[in-house]
Amino acid sequence: MTKKDYIAEAITEYYGERCPKHMTGCPCCDAWAQYDAKAARVTADLEKLVKKGVDGLQDMLDGYADKNAYEGFPAMLRDGLAAIEALRDKLSEG
């Protein structure tokens, strides 16, 4: 699957590449500023969801490990927790 940023592509096609220096009132600069603000909000929301997922899985893992529930379940939760933590780390790298 090819990763394409259609919004950035559309801004580039309509307004052009980013200006070397941001200028208030420049339609191109304003379009890119709006794009950056929305991207930052989406990234922040994803980071919150990932953090919530890590905490929730850790709580589940602790609960099941304490009760000696189904033997394979804690290992499965640990794998899921590791995957979510890896995603969180990747998102924080930018």
Q: Given a cut of 60, is residue 56 above it in pLDDT? A: yes
Percent of the chain past pLDDT 70, that is, above it, reads 62
Token pair belonging to 6: 């259609």
Is 24 contained in some domain? yes
Token pair belonging to 11: 């801004």
Domain that includes residue 41, residue range: 6-93
Is 1 contained in some domain? no
> Which DSSP category does 18 fall into?
P
Report pTM. Answer: 0.52
Q: Given a cut of 70, is residue 73 above it in pLDDT? A: no
Domain count, the chain: 1
What is the predicted pLDDT for the residue at 86? Answer: 76
Query: How far apart, in whole angstroms, are the C-alpha atoms of residue 37 and residue 21?
Result: 17
pLDDT in tens, 13-38: 999 999 999 999 999 999 999 999 98
Contact between 91 and 42 under an 8 Å Cβ cutoff? The reply is no
Q: Of 90, 88, 17, whose CA–CA distance to 48 is shortest?
A: 88
